Structure 1
Amino acid sequence: MSVVGALLEGSGISHSEDDTYPVLDYIQSRDALRELDQNNYVLNAYSRQGDFISRFHTSFDNSFESLRKYYSNHVVEAKLDPISSITTLTTRAYSAEDAKRINNTLVEISERLINRLNARAASDAITFAQRQVNTALGKAKDAASELALYRNSHTVFDPEKQSALQLQQVNGLQTQLFAAQSQLGQLQAVSPQNPQIPSIKTYITTIEKQIDVATGSVAGGKNSLSQKASEYTRLELDAQLADKQLASAMASLDNARAEAERKQLYLEVLVQPNAPDIAIEPKRLRGIAATFCVGLILWGVLSLLIASVREHQD
């Protein structure tokens, strides 16, 4: 017999009974019996020993399924205490050595089962998170490529900053225009025939054209910065969103790896399997008493029948 503790989760003591039931089912399963029955060990241990009634009879049915039913009904018993969540594993055999060996083996293969469950759960969680990272990384690369392509094809880096620079240039040109117009007005008022007037007019016309070009590059045309800004902003937002999704996916991957380590299940053996000092089955005294009682009843019934027959003959 051994006392197997509840499945422990990570380094804490929290657990779920639902995590224990797969182990209990596995102990009673064909796979567990197949692990035990290496070189027909279980078959020989229970078919060549014991009394005629309780042993496994290969002459009737020596199939593996028949052995599994015998194993499940007569060899192992696993009970889960719902209050303490401690499982007691009891093994019955015709020798103390066989009982202890089977119990030890069941504990070992149960631990291997828990390790496989841990590995599968961790692998699934990390694989899913890694797949999310790969998807997010692909989207981030695509968004960055689209933004770079737009910048190169439209000769624009940041429409908002470029617009601000263009507006500063327009303001400077307008200041020069106002100064030139003021100078022209003064000259025309004081000296209408001043030879500087034509050159000032030409200068004013040039500045006005420069202002029109600068203003048109900021707003007005289909190739203006204001028109480019909307598409650029959309692409930039897509790139920023893709970067945030990538960062979130990478954080989820790190969390999945940490959770895989922290939330592993452990099978804690509270009491190691031990060989019984004396045989506790079969219950000899109870069997003798039951046989005596049954025999006494049969003797009484037969006596009554015999007495009845004799009385009828007389």
Structure 2
Amino acid sequence: MAVLKRLMNSGGPRKPAPSSGDLITQQQLQQEMTELMKDKPSLFAPTSAPAVMLENLQGLYQHSTRLMVTFAACVLVPTLLTVGYLAFYASDQYETEMSFTVQQGTKSQRSVTGVMALAAQISGFSSTSQETFMVLEYLRSAAVVHDIGGAAFLEPIFARNDIDYLARMDQKLPIEDIVEFWRDKVIPELDARSGIINLKIRAFSAEDSELVAKKLLTLTEKLVNGISLRSRNDTLQRVEQDVKRSANILAETRLKLLSFRNTEQSIDPVQDAEQISIMITDLTLKRIEIETELETMTKQSSGNSPAIRVKKDQLDAFNQQITKLEARLTGSVGAKDTVSSKLIEYETLQTELAYREKLYSITLSGYEQAREEVEKQQIFVIPIVSPSVAESSTYPNFTETTVSIFMLCAALWSVLALTIAAVRDHSL
């Protein structure tokens, strides 16, 4: 038995082969093997290779068990809960989709040719107007929630008791939470190149989603019309101020002209000057006629005849009248009461009056054009895809949601498992 023990000892020295005198019988060998089998626990000592392998297998089994347990708890259980929720508890959601664009009706934009539009698209410039971005922000804001009716309008649609607890909106929420829920159910998307807004509305019935879509379309039209009207009203107010200012100046000019006529006691100095010129012309012709007759009479009779004296008196009277009329018309240099001086002031007032009347006419015409523009709808919403009643529920998407939850939980579980393994390795 001592020989067999030495043979089984892996660390002992190798002995030479026994001689013929040391040979043992078969019966003795069987006895030695029996005793060796009784001593078999020594084969699994802590330092032996089988013991190490067994310990590693046990550790691997325990580690795999822990992994499976954590995988089931972190991945399979949430996935099964999701499947159960979607299959038996989740409320169906219906989606209504519509598309529209904000169109401007100004002449400058209507005159853009197809070649210019194509060049803008090739160059990468966006055709989206500022009003389109304003509409997009409006659909995401608290203002649209307030305009559509607030909690009084939304609670009968999104907070009914027949909707599952996880999906429905709580009642009596503050405006911030209502807006957050609104943004989850109303999703506007903008195609910046074409300027088309695609709007998706989710509700728990097809009729409710269509109702919300139509209300939003009406509110959007009201918004863009209000923007356009406010802009054009500002322009109209400025034009009205110009018209009033021009009318006041015109009235002041007319008052100046009326005051001039009352002061000078002359309705039209131009006509007065024409009449005086006509009178001077007539008197001059008559004076020439008298001078001709006087010259003839002087040649035929003596210069002291009564007829000649009468003609001379008539000639002197005509000369005096002509002198007075000429003095009234022109007068001396710097005279203020002459028709010519009045004529200068009158013409100045007339010129100013004509200018003010023309200016008033231009501003009044601009006011009429601005007023006509206000009556027109310069910015309007063009529906491309009108809202309609959905025929089947779109959400929740069973397959997509389940796969997403499984992948997300699996990714988190993998990260957690790798992190724990790295910490253990580092601690060893």
Inter-CA distance 78–13: structure 2 relative to 1 (3 Å threshold): farther
Shift of 1:216: 0.9
**Residue 230 (structure 1) aligns with:** 344
- Supply the distance in 2 between the matched residues of 1:124 and 1:303 (Cα, whole angstroms): 66
Shift of 1:304: 10
**SS of equivalent to 1:269:** strand
144, 154, 160: which is aligned to 1:32?
144
- Supply the distance in 1 between the matched residues of 2:415 and 2:298 (Cα, whole angstroms): 153
Shift of 1:16: 6.7
Inter-CA distance 148–305: structure 2 relative to 1 (3 Å threshold): closer
**Residue 265 (structure 2) aligns with:** 155
| Structure 1: 5+ residue stretches without partners | none
The letter for the 2-side match of 1:17 is: S
1:43/1:67 contact within 8 Å kept: no
Post-superposition CA distance 1:110-129 (Å, at most 9, x none) = 12223433443454444443
272, 276, 282: which is aligned to 1:166?
276
**Residue 99 (structure 2) aligns with:** 3
Shift of 1:148: 2.3
**Residue 100 (structure 1) aligns with:** 210
Shift of 1:103: 1.9
307, 310, 315: which is aligned to 1:204?
315
- Supply the distance in 2 between the matched residues of 1:274 and 1:11 (Cα, whole angstroms): 34
- Supply the distance in 2 between the matched residues of 1:175 and 1:95 (Cα, whole angstroms): 107
**Residue 266 (structure 1) aligns with:** 380
**SS of equivalent to 1:20:** helix
**Residue 286 (structure 1) aligns with:** 400
2:102/2:382 contact within 8 Å kept: yes
The letter for the 2-side match of 1:86 is: I
| Structure 2: 5+ residue stretches without partners | 1-96, 111-126
Shift of 1:219: 0.3
106, 110, 134: which is aligned to 1:22?
134
Residue 245 (structure 1) aligned with residue 337 (structure 2): no
Post-superposition CA distance 1:212-246 (Å, at most 9, x none) = 11101110142111010111011111211121122
Aligned residues: 308
Q: How does 1:54-93 map to 2 (within 5 A)?
A: 62-72=173-183, 74-93=184-203
- Supply the distance in 1 between the matched residues of 2:258 and 2:221 (Cα, whole angstroms): 55
- Supply the distance in 2 between the matched residues of 1:214 and 1:299 (Cα, whole angstroms): 120
- Supply the distance in 1 between the matched residues of 2:296 and 2:419 (Cα, whole angstroms): 154
- Supply the distance in 2 between the matched residues of 1:134 and 1:20 (Cα, whole angstroms): 36
The letter for the 1-side match of 2:176 is: E
Tell which deviates more after alignment, 198-207 or 178-187.
Answer: 178-187
Q: How does 1:102-121 map to 2 (within 5 A)?
A: 102-121=212-231
Identity, in percent, stands at 18
1:170/1:211 contact within 8 Å kept: yes
**Residue 154 (structure 2) aligns with:** 42
TM-score, length of structure 2 as denominator length: 0.61
- Supply the distance in 1 between the matched residues of 2:415 and 2:246 (Cα, whole angstroms): 88
Inter-CA distance 203–104: structure 2 relative to 1 (3 Å threshold): same
Larger Rg: 2
